[in-house]
Structure 1
Amino acid sequence: MIVHRRRSSTEDWHPAPVPETSDLHKLQAAAAKCKACPLYKNATQTVFGEGTRNAKLVLVGEQPGDREDRAGRPFVGPAGKLLDRALEEAGIDRQETYVTNAVKHFKWEPRGKRRLHKKPSSRDIAACKPWLEAELQAIAPRVLVLLGSTAAQTILGSKVRVLRDRGHAMPSEYCQKTFVTVHPSSLLRAPDEESRDRNYAEFVADLKKVARLLRSAD
């Protein structure tokens, strides 16, 4: 059975073909054919979530970047490598997590020969949300970490503010222990080494709190 979202009057809109299943492989296969918004036209492929079906921790970012779009896997570019390092320092094994994005296609604009990230619109996010909901319902994580404002507002609504609300768990529709922190890509954009080091230390401190939440959930 296919779950259809309500049709929009906007041209190029199509229902997200989300099957009613908790099988992540079937969800991924269906997502590969998704044309719910125009982003699929310029993306190499759908980048679905990745990780264990039994993950206690799910981390949600904004969208795949250039490296992810080419590889077809989430968080494999510079921000992903930084996330791996921070998770290790916080005592969290990424192999026991599930990582995904609020938007499954890379939105970009050309800059010479480069493809530069372009922030997804509310329409892009709404079109992709059924996939994220299906992932979260299939996994039912003990702790949900929202990396950056797009992920946070997708799950918690427009009133959430990352810098104000980071650092503590709050309930959401999808997980009673939902945690907001910055996206690792924001650390890469810090203007100088001192700022990068400080921001990275704060990010690791947030993830250490997540690690304690995970231990308390056992």
Structure 2
Amino acid sequence: MAGTGDRGTAPEEYDATPYLPSRGGLPAHREAAAECRGCPLHRDATGTVFGRGAPDARLMLVGEQPGDQEDREGLPFVGPAGRLLHRALAEAGIDEEDLYVTNAVKHFKFVRDEARGRRIHKTPSVRETLACRPWLMAELRLVSPELVVVLGATAGRALLGSSFRVGTDRGVPRPLPDAADGTRVLATVHPSAVLRARDRQEMYAGLVADLRTAADAL
């Protein structure tokens, strides 16, 4: 492997594939993901945040990455955005017992705000998202949902490619590319975008409407 200039060190690897188990279901993959070193994000994060929920869920939700609270607890969607999502799911009539939730990127990427003693979310790069994609594809294969709801741009691009745009591609179920089992995908906004929005009520209503569309599509 070639070095990087005069330092003689190997270039950073960006690929989770070597860390995936050759067999086993979600528990085996969750255990293996805890040891993933497929990109540099593992260095600063508390740990890997793998997906959770029904192993045979008809509906899968895919977000961007864990936030500060998710990183500390090791579970997806348990912070402020997660609480808003749970409320929206309830209003849309979606039973969370038949749901699997995960993120496109399994480690928390952040910058430190030393003045306030906080860790501030930073959007994963395309390279980091692609490095983590093998875990997401394994989850899709193992759960085999009927419908995947992608929450926001990072999740959408992880599954639908770089041309994906939330504003133009949201709210309409469509075939998931390369899915052999007929899985469909529907895009909507990420709950964290709702929390940041000036027109929060309107944006929240749009999220609920998209989730109702997902419920009707099942």
TM-score by length of 1: 0.90
Number of the residue aligned with 1:58: 60
SS in 2 for 1:19: coil
Q: Residue 184 in 1 paired to residue 191 in 2?
A: yes
Number of the residue aligned with 2:7: none
Q: Alignment length, in residue pairs?
A: 204
RMSD (Å), alpha carbons: 1.5
Structure 2 residue identity aligned to 1:89: E
Q: Is the 1:22–1:134 Cα contact (8 Å) retained in structure 2? A: no
SS in 1 for 2:148: strand
TM-score by length of 2: 0.90
Alignment of 1:56-205 (within 5 A): 56-112=58-114, 113-172=117-176, 173-174=178-179, 176-191=183-198, 195-205=199-209
In 1, Cα distance between equivalents of 2:38 and 2:120 = 22
In 1, Cα distance between equivalents of 2:93 and 2:103 = 22
SS in 2 for 1:58: strand
SS in 1 for 2:57: coil
In 2, Cα distance between equivalents of 1:22 and 1:202 = 38
Distance 1:208 1:14, change over 3 A: closer
Number of the residue aligned with 2:25: 23
Q: Is the 2:45–2:107 Cα contact (8 Å) retained in structure 1? A: yes
Describe the superposition over 1:34-91 as per-residue Cα deviations: whole angstroms up to 9, x where unpaired: 0000000000000000001010000000000000000000000000000000000000
Number of the residue aligned with 1:213: 217
In 1, Cα distance between equivalents of 2:72 and 2:143 = 26
Q: Residue 22 of structure 1: CA displacement?
A: 4.8
SS in 1 for 2:155: helix
Q: Residue 202 of structure 1: CA displacement?
A: 0.8
Task: Give the gaps of 5 or more residues in structure 2.
Answer: 5-9
Deviates more, 1:91-100 or 1:19-28: 19-28
Q: Residue 14 of structure 1: CA displacement?
A: 6.1
Number of the residue aligned with 2:12: 12
In 1, Cα distance between equivalents of 2:126 and 2:14 = 16
Q: Residue 157 of structure 1: CA displacement?
A: 0.5
Task: Give the gaps of 5 or more residues in structure 1.
Answer: 1-6
Task: State the 4+ residue runs in structure 1 displaced beyond 4 angstroms.
Answer: none
Q: Is the 1:167–1:180 Cα contact (8 Å) retained in structure 2? A: yes
Q: Is the 1:22–1:138 Cα contact (8 Å) retained in structure 2? A: no
Distance 1:72 1:171, change over 3 A: same
